[in-house]
Amino acid sequence: MHLRLTAIAALALCIAGEVPLACAQQRLGQVQPQVKHFKLGALDLWALRDSALIVPNDGSVFGLNADRAAVTNVLRAAGVSTHEVTLPVDVLLLRLPGHLILFDAGWGSEGHGVLRQSLASIGISPDEITDILITHSHSDHVGGLMDAHGRSTFAKARIRMSANEWAFMQTQDETRALASAIKTQIQTFEPGQPILPGITPLALYGHTPGHVGYEIAWRRWRLLDIGDLAHSSLISVAKPDWTIDYDNDKAQGARQRRQQFQRLAATHELIFAPHFPFPGVGRITPAGDGFSFRPEVPSEQ
Ligand SMILES: [Zn+2]
């Protein structure tokens, strides 16, 4: 997703009642550090909590090309609040021989992120992280790369993202200072080839110009970190063709969701989705003219 600092500033004004009609109504949720360990074959993975964003169902974010009542119907049918949608911000951690790999870095201090506390709860310090694989450069995924003092949080890690995304990140007002702080750690790639043993970035352009997912493979096991291919585990999955305000290219984002969900429903592989209900691990299955998300955390093997 994509919530600028300016939107949070606008939110503060909203609470003060100074601009009651123009204010942004998205707000940060309160999140406690939490970790869920799971296995992919012999590989150890952890889902880590960082933050949460609460988004009003007012037609400004979800289903921009849909009837607002239809969006409400999807939420009502699932038995959840029809007034607002809570989007967790979670991060994936993977241990490989010689590597401790984060997939995205959470929101950081601007988003009240607790990723560092979640890592500390399993005894991992930031300096132990060897690689950070970035899906895209929105603040809820890269904000945690820099600490509150403007220093690189994971100073010993290689930070990898697609060449397209790195070019995009350096041109955005929101991330220019961050890009400068981490530039010596950056290593870019072209999607489609493995960048670490068993880890292949997959081009999922649309949400941003260089947005990627990461496929993790171990023997017959597969898990795809879908990044921000989808935001709501209900709306974005049931109605993949509905456009969302957070997508840079809304039409391309919608096409990408439909195409990838068709593939994932056919392969039945596991996914990790940073904005789905914690721990965000499960499978996509066909449902009506769309799909559904079935949470499933592989048990210890
Ligand atoms: Zn996001």
124: number of CA atoms within 13 Å, CB side? 20
Tokens 């965000």, residue located: 280
Distance in Å, CA 228 to ligand 1 centroid: 5
Establish if 68 belongs to a structural domain: yes
Q: Is 268 helix (H, G, I), strand (E, B) or coil?
A: coil
Distance in Å, CA 285 to ligand 1 centroid: 22
Distance in Å, CA 268 to ligand 1 centroid: 23
pLDDT of amino acid 25: 81
User: How many domains does the structure of the chain reveal?
Assistant: 1
Cβ-in-10-Å burial (0-12, 13-18, 19+) of 274 comes to: buried
Distance in Å, CA 29 to ligand 1 centroid: 14
Q: CA 40, 44, 45: angle at the middle one, nearest 5?
A: 85
pLDDT of amino acid 22: 34
Tens-binned pLDDT, residue by residue, of the chain (301 aa): 655 544 443 343 333 333 333 344 899 998 999 999 999 999 999 999 999 999 999 999 999 999 999 999 999 999 999 999 999 999 999 999 999 999 999 999 999 999 999 999 999 999 999 999 999 999 999 999 999 999 999 999 999 999 999 999 999 999 999 999 999 999 999 999 999 999 999 999 999 999 999 999 999 999 999 999 999 999 999 999 999 999 999 999 999 999 999 999 999 999 999 999 999 999 999 999 999 999 999 875 5
298: number of CA atoms within 13 Å, CB side? 19
Distance in Å, CA 53 to ligand 1 centroid: 10
Distance in Å, CA 88 to ligand 1 centroid: 9
Domain with residue 185: its CATH number is 3.60.15.10
Establish if 94 belongs to a structural domain: yes
**How far is residue 73's CA from residue 82's CA, in Å, rounded to a whole number?**
8
pLDDT of amino acid 14: 37
Establish if 301 belongs to a structural domain: no
Distance in Å, CA 144 to ligand 1 centroid: 13
**How far is residue 201's CA from residue 133's CA, in Å, rounded to a whole number?**
9
**How far is residue 164's CA from residue 173's CA, in Å, rounded to a whole number?**
17
Distance in Å, CA 104 to ligand 1 centroid: 10
pTM for the model? 0.93
Tell me which residue range forms the domain holding 230.
5-295
Distance in Å, CA 301 to ligand 1 centroid: 31
Distance in Å, CA 141 to ligand 1 centroid: 6
Establish if 244 belongs to a structural domain: yes
**How far is residue 52's CA from residue 67's CA, in Å, rounded to a whole number?**
26
- Residues with CB under 5 Å of ion ligand 1 are 1, 140, 228
Establish if 300 belongs to a structural domain: no
Distance in Å, CA 142 to ligand 1 centroid: 10
Q: Is 114 helix (H, G, I), strand (E, B) or coil?
A: coil
